Amino acid sequence: MKKIFTEALSSFVGKKKATSIVGIFLLIAGLIYSFSLQNSITLQEAPTAQVSPAFVVASPSATPMAGHGGTLATVVSVVDGDTIKIEGGEVVRYIGMNTPETVAPRRPVECYGKEASAKNKELVQGKTVELEKDISERDTFGRLLRYVWIGDVLLNEYLVREGYAQVSTYPPDVKYVDRLLAAQRLAVEEKKGMWSGECEPIAPVVTPEQLESTPSATSTP
């Protein structure tokens, strides 16, 4: 093939120049082919990234945004499964749900409390979260009452859904009560976390009809 191209080109530019031109052309063609082959092999061998739901929940956007009308804050420490401390010293109590106690004075560590606290720490420690207010500003202990978001994940709901917390809400802070109750029904049906049977007895599921007679979870440490 090289000989044919060289002879054809010789009649126009001479044999010496023709040989040089054909040589350069073949070199360029070889480099292009080698580059294309290398890219093809790389694409075929590159593994497809598998992102688990837990990773999505625990990994907020690199540039967090307040997309639910709340304010952004950095979590500096986790008190327990439903309480955190944010930069500036404020303590935030998750509303609409309650996790088993681990740090309440004069009360023993409750079943599944350590697991709930560890999960909350995994989700928010050192991360920027969005804090959404409902109606009440603070509880009787002076803690901020908030829904806590990472991206589009409502952590109050997530902890209930995975069996780390149960619904415990009190008017007027009932914005997401339907979502929380639906999450709890699924957790109970699937026997997740505290509903697996190892934490019997568990307090009854909170229903909308019980809301007005249910003690506020925001009044307990």
Task: Locate the domains of the chain by residue range.
Answer: 2-45, 54-219
With contact defined as beta carbons under 8 Å apart, do 124 and 78 qualify? yes
- The model's pLDDT over 19-70, given as tens digits with 9 standing for 90+, comes to 666 566 666 666 566 555 555 444 344 443 333 444 444 444 445 678 899 9
Please check whether residue 136 is in contact with residue 164, taking contact to mean a CB–CB distance below 8 angstroms: no
DSSP-assigned letters across all residues of 129-183:
EEEE--S--B-TTSPEEEEEEETTEEHHHHHHHTTS-EE--BTTB-TTHHHHHHH
CA distance 185 to 124: 25
Cα 65 to Cα 22: distance, rounded to the nearest angstrom: 59
pLDDT band, residue 94 (cuts 50/70/90): very high
**93 among known catalytic residues:** yes
Evaluate the omega torsion of the peptide bond into residue 100 and state whether it is cis, within 30 degrees of 0: no
pLDDT at site 35? 53
- Is 137 noted as a catalytic residue in this protein? no
Rounded to whole angstroms, the Cα distance separating 207 from 166 reads 11
Catalytic residue selected from 143, 157, 161, 162: 143
- The one-character DSSP state at 210 is G
pTM tops 0.75, yes or no:
no
Window from 7-21, 108-122, 162-176, 178-192 with minimum mean pLDDT: 7-21
> What residues pair up with 78 in beta bridges, in sequence order?
84
**pLDDT in the model for residue 202:** 65
CATH topology of domain 54-219: OB fold (Dihydrolipoamide Acetyltransferase, E2P) (2.40.50)
Residue 195: DSSP 8-state: G
Q: What is the mean pLDDT of residues 86-95?
A: 97
Choosing from 93, 115, 157, 161, the catalytic residue is: 93
User: Environment class of residue 197 by beta-carbon count within 10 Å: exposed (0-12), middle (13-18) or buried (19+)?
Assistant: exposed
Using 50, 70 and 90 to split pLDDT, how confident is the model at 198?
A: confident
Place 203 in a pLDDT band, splitting at 50, 70 and 90. Answer: low
Assess whether 101 carries a catalytic annotation: yes
Phi, psi for 118 (deg, rounded to 5): -65, -40
Give the active site residue among 101, 132, 157, 162. Answer: 101
Round the average pLDDT of the chain to a whole number and report it. 77
